[in-house]
Chain A
Amino acid sequence: MIGFLVRLIGIFVVALVSLSAPLVLAVDDAWQDESTCVTCHEAEIDEALAISVPEWRESIHAEYLVSCDACHGGDPRLEDADESMSEEAGFLDNPSWTEMADYCGVCHEAIAESFTAGRFGSAILEGVRVATCATCHMRDGHRIVASIPAEIVTSEICPGCPSVADPDRCVGFLREVRAADETLVANIDVVEAKGIDLTDLRGAAREIHEAFARTVHAFDDAAIDAARAQAAGGYEALGDRVALLDHEADSRRRFGAGMIAALTLLFVALLATLRKLR
């Protein structure tokens, strides 16, 4: 019997391996075709550009399939480098610091609007060099980071700003709100993994985060203080609801454990009865 099973599994494994090899290769080829931007720049045309591809692969942009052309324009289907990065193909290159908000605002519309209408946007209109989207969010290249550490506030980046002497005043509260957001989202993940759908609470958390982010990007101190208080209150209320549902998820599991214990007893009793019948 064991010999038979071994031979049967052997036939299956041989069939599986012989089928898998060509199919896996075919899938690998398909991955290479994804975008000529990626294939060329990954092939190290120059080091500075080549590094941007692996950075991008780790980014939230790659996660949401926002590829090079979404920001830089061009046609990623054309194989010729000059053609794919020509004016006719809609190539935009990198934006200047004055154009940055419009550039990122194609997708991040509300944030860009808030930024343009706010303190920094007004400064840009007056020709004053201030921090823009890339200053903070691309400080780690194309990985794109959301969190802003205090070290970023330097006199070089923010000349003339009083916060340079006390960077925590400028970015400390961001850390605090981000931590509240991350804790809530992590708790939501835990409860959802236990089988309770919290899409509505996740959406509510996102709304709090987006409202706060919009206010922050206007760089108005009074508005930021009000938004901080509102966000803190919002996260706390949502946190209480998540905790309640976590309790509910745990009671469901206890019910399940009880049912499994009862079924196990029944199973053992049936096996014992079967043994007697033999």
Chain B
Amino acid sequence: MSQWLERRTGFREFLKRHGRDFAVPEASGAGVSLGAILVFLLLLQLATGTLLLLYFVPDPAGAFESVHGLMREVPYGWLIRLGHAHGANWMVAVLFLHLFRTAFQGAYKDPRELVWVSGCVLFLGVLGSALTGYILPWSQLSYWATTVVTASLSYLPVVGTDLVHWVRGGEFVGEATYRRALTAHIALLPLLLLVGVAIHLALVRRVGLADRVRRRGEEVTGATVPFYPRIALRQVTTVVGFMLVLAASVFFLPNLFFPVDHLLPADPFETPANAKPEWYFLWAYQLPRLVPEGLALALEGIALVALFALPFIDRGPDRHPLDRPVASAAIALALAALVTLSVLGYLA
């Protein structure tokens, strides 16, 4: 049977090529394998999202009630929904860690520039997916957080107002906005993420995993080991370790990512006292409250361009953060700004 399958699919050859024959630096993945956790979370999101669609009513008239029913009436509906919601939040958190770790370690340097760029596209795709998923339960939180986030597009010069209108499908957040978010969340963005991850991993496979960071002048041994079994098992262990964290948050801190407004159905006529976006957009919410809107927009634009262009700006051969102090300080400053703005946004 396996011979029959092998002749037609070449799956053994495939596994061998990407397992035993894939030589990786001995120290790669010695720490927590954030990439492996992200692949697991993407699969979890696809699985739980598909299961949610069996009972979820994707319509502003019935969405809130159907989520309530899923949490209380459908057997294990609560587990699927909490798995999806917590998974999404953890995915963004782990993605931020993955991004900053890669940046601090200079793992985007020659020949990994395109791995970095494809990762940045995935980063935006995950943020978009989180944002569009947020609106779907049609709670007060969904409605007003979406209103705040979409309104921030109006800061763009010339096209701002038209863009807000286009994204919302009208002047205000409403059914048209809901349809747009739904289409993006269950069709466009999953497709983008799957294709994006395939390209990202194919690029990683081509240029190899980054070796551990060394100081300038330190000897490079070049020692490698096959990806399978040791490195692969290390990554599986990391994923299982992360599953413990995820399970702890789902079962014992179920409201960790939910402010109280998620329990109320959307009401366009009643603005909650403190409408805010989710934690991962708090920095963008807070920045225009502290500096003029134009400057906030310019800073965000510069940050986005700098993010994509990082491998083409910091091009020296050194990877160790202390051997490239300017780049390290800039990345530390960006991280500090992100944390500070988010904390201030949370407290505001």
Q: Give A residues with C-beta under 8 Å from B.
A: 4, 7-8, 11-12, 15-16, 18-20, 23-24, 26-27, 30, 64-65, 192-197, 199-200, 245, 252-253, 255-257, 259-260, 263-264, 266-267, 270-271, 273-274, 277-278
Contact = CB atoms under 8 A, between A and B. Distances in A.
A19 B263 contact: no
10 contacts: A16-B336, A27-B344, A27-B348, A252-B78, A259-B247, A266-B240, A267-B240, A270-B237, A271-B237, A273-B233
The B interface is mostly helix, strand or loop, or mixed, namely helix
A197 B290 contact: no
A277 B255 CA distance: 40
B336 A15 contact: yes
A19 B336 contact: yes
Nearest to B347: A27
B210 to A, nearest CB: 17
Contacts of A197: 68, 71-72, 263
B348 to A, nearest CB: 7
Contact of A12 (B254, B320, B322, B335): B335
B237 A267 contact: yes
Given A259-B247, A263-B243, A4 B71 contact: no
B71 A16 contact: no
Nearest to A260: B247
B329 A278 contact: no
Given A253-B252, A256-B252, 8 more contacts: A16-B339, A20-B340, A27-B290, A30-B289, A199-B264, A260-B247, A277-B230, A277-B233
Interface in B57-75: 68, 71-72
A255 B251 contact: yes
Contacts of A259: 247, 251
A255 B251 CA distance: 8
Contacts, number: 104
B82 interface: yes
B337 interface: yes
A267 B241 contact: yes
Given A26-B290, A194-B254, A270 B236 contact: yes
A12 B339 CA distance: 10
B251 A270 contact: no
A20 B335 CA distance: 12
B273 interface: yes
Nearest to B71: A197
Contacts of A15: 329, 332-333, 335-337
B35 interface: no
A8 B233 contact: no
Given A196-B71, A197-B72, A19 B340 contact: yes
Nearest to B244: A263
B250 A8 contact: no
B322 A4 contact: yes
Which 5 residue pairs across A and B have the least CB separation, nearest first? Answer: A256-B251, A195-B254, A15-B336, A16-B336, A270-B237
Contacts of A4: 320-322
A116 to B, nearest CB: 27
A263 B247 contact: yes
A260 B236 contact: no
A196 B240 CA distance: 27
A20 B247 CA distance: 34
Nearest to A256: B251
B322 A7 contact: yes
Contacts of A27: 290, 344, 347-348
B341 interface: yes
A27 B347 CA distance: 9
Of the candidates A12, A20, A245, A266, the one having the most CB atoms from chain B within 10 angstroms of its own CB is A12
A11 B335 CA distance: 11
Given A11-B332, A260-B248, A23 B344 contact: yes
B255 A196 contact: no
Interface string B22-45: 000000000000000000000000
Contacts of A18: 336
Given A11-B329, A16-B336, A195 B348 contact: no
Given A15-B336, A267-B237, A8 B321 contact: yes
B237 A278 contact: no
B240 A263 contact: yes
Contact of B240 (A193, A200, A245, A270): A270
A90 to B, nearest CB: 22
B109 interface: no
Contact of A64 (B71, B82, B247, B273): B273
Of the candidates A4, A11, A27, the one having the most CB atoms from chain B within 10 angstroms of its own CB is A11
A115 B240 CA distance: 62
A80 B289 CA distance: 26
Given A27-B344, A64-B273, A195 B78 contact: yes
A274 B233 contact: yes
Contacts of B336: 12, 15-16, 18-19
B241 A65 contact: no
